[in-house]
Chain A
Amino acid sequence: MRLSVQTDPFDLGAESHAFAAGLSTSGAVVTFTGLVRDNGGRLAAMEIEHYPGMTERAIRAIMDQAVARWSLEDALVIHRHGRLSPQDPIMMVATAARHRADAFAAAEFLMDYLKSRAPFWKKEIGADGAEWVAAKDEDEAALTRW
């Protein structure tokens, strides 16, 4: 299980390859990558703030739950902070399980919890000012399905 909270970019292909290369009992790997979305071409940059210490604790707790619940062979979370440009990768998760249903479910679970339980805050920097991204009610509601 690996967690990296970092400012540096990451190589999606290299991370996926390295994750899969370390497996011995899995038949399924699911990866998800989140990119900085530019709504309507007005986004100059996105700044991501986090709470060092709590970020790692919160994500590890979520990963431990996912590994136990879906009997994952391995899991990976990479999440960036700092200043990012439109279309930059922000984060990725990878899960490995014997069968695909567990790998997909665990990846969705990790994403749902990262959205509203990992202490990150996004700020959109546009041509006409900066604005903190508001949490969405549906992100909180998504947790109830687990």
Chain B
Amino acid sequence: MIDVLYFAWVRERIGLPRERLETSAPTVAALIEELRAREERYAVAFADLASLRVALDQELADFDAPLAGVREVAFFPPMTGG
């Protein structure tokens, strides 16, 4: 099981802040493919990967990063702090 978190407009498009998923996806990219295939709202949220960032266990990561041992995945737009 893996916790998947969504922030900002990703959260709004998917309609929930977090969910717990059973997945055997080996990488972030594979997880995104699974999510896209689930429902239209996921396909919309993950339509443009260039406008998305991902963090694995609260550290920024690449889309080809492996998910083995990861407990928490977060998807969000580029950050706008400061």
Contacts from A to B (Cβ < 8 Å): 34, 49, 51, 53-54, 57-58, 79, 90-91, 111, 114-123, 132-135, 140
A10 CB to nearest chain B CB (Å): 15
B-chain residues with CB within 8 Å of residue A58 when the two chains form the complex: 58
Among the interface residues A118, A120, A140, which one has the most CB atoms of the partner chain B within 10 A?
A120
Cβ of A91 and Cβ of B82 under 8 Å apart? yes
How far in angstroms is the closest Cβ of chain A from B17? Answer: 10
Which 3 A/B pairs are nearest by Cβ-Cβ distance?
A135-B78, A120-B81, A121-B8
Interface centre among A51, A91, A118 (most CB of B within 10 A): A51
Residues in B lying within 8 Å of A, measured CB to CB:
5, 7-9, 55, 58-60, 74, 76-82
Question: Is A132 a contact of B77 with CB atoms below 8 Å?
Answer: yes
Q: Which residues of B contact A49 (CB under 8 A)?
A: 7-8
Given A51-B58, A114-B81, also A119-B9 (CB < 8 A): no
Q: Are B8 and A34 within 8 A (Cβ)?
A: no
The closest CB in chain B to the CB of A115 belongs to B82
Given A119-B7, A123-B8, A51 and B76 contact (CB-CB distance below 8 Å): yes
Bound complex: CA of A140 vs CA of B55, how far in Å?
A: 17
Q: Assuming A51-B7, A54-B55, A54-B58, is B76 touching A119 (CB within 8 A)?
A: yes
Distance, CA A49 to CA B78, complexed state (A): 13
